[in-house]
Amino acid sequence: MISRIDHIGIVCRDLDDTVEFYRATHGFELCHVEVIDSQGVREAMLKVGATDDGAASYIQLLEPVRDDSAVSAWLAENGPGVHHIAFGTDDVEAESERLKARGIRPIFDPPGTGSRGTRVTFLHPRDCHGVLTELVTLP
């Protein structure tokens, strides 16, 4: 079951410059930077705020580190901007199976490891009204 919006993924050309924009403009807290080799990106997670249950929402900034990555291709075609929305779930595997039964195709099947040790999968945008959707289970 989906319980919250975990993050909004935004593709950028210069991660450091974009992090500084969000910190200076909105006061978001930089809490994590990581290179995800398997996806060919460097990411920064910026904390937006906490919810009543103690969970936080984030802005995830993504900078491609390889020309052959999906994010690099997306950036070349679309320019910087919103890339995906991620929903939190207690069990990404079960949620992925539930959605597959409804005809929604997961891109990572089975789900894989994301940044910060999370379990993740993406749902095909053609099955989600044009929106690339990520499912995230925290470690």
Return the structure tokens found at 37: 């080799």
CA distance 129 to 31: 31
pLDDT band at residue 99 using 50, 70 and 90 as cut-offs: very high
Is 80 exceeded by the pLDDT of residue 9?
A: yes
What pLDDT score does 12 carry? 98
Mean of pLDDT values over 66-95: 96
1: Cα separation from own chain's centroid = 18
Active site residues: 7, 43, 60, 84, 134
What pLDDT score does 1 carry? 87
Mean of pLDDT values over 58-79: 97
What pLDDT score does 54 carry? 62
What pLDDT score does 3 carry? 87
What pLDDT score does 76 carry? 97
Backbone angles phi, psi at 131, to 5 degrees: -110, 120
What pLDDT score does 55 carry? 72
| Average pLDDT, rounded, for the chain | 94
Mean of pLDDT values over 68-83: 97
Question: Which pTM was predicted?
Answer: 0.90
CA distance 123 to 80: 21
What pLDDT score does 34 carry? 96
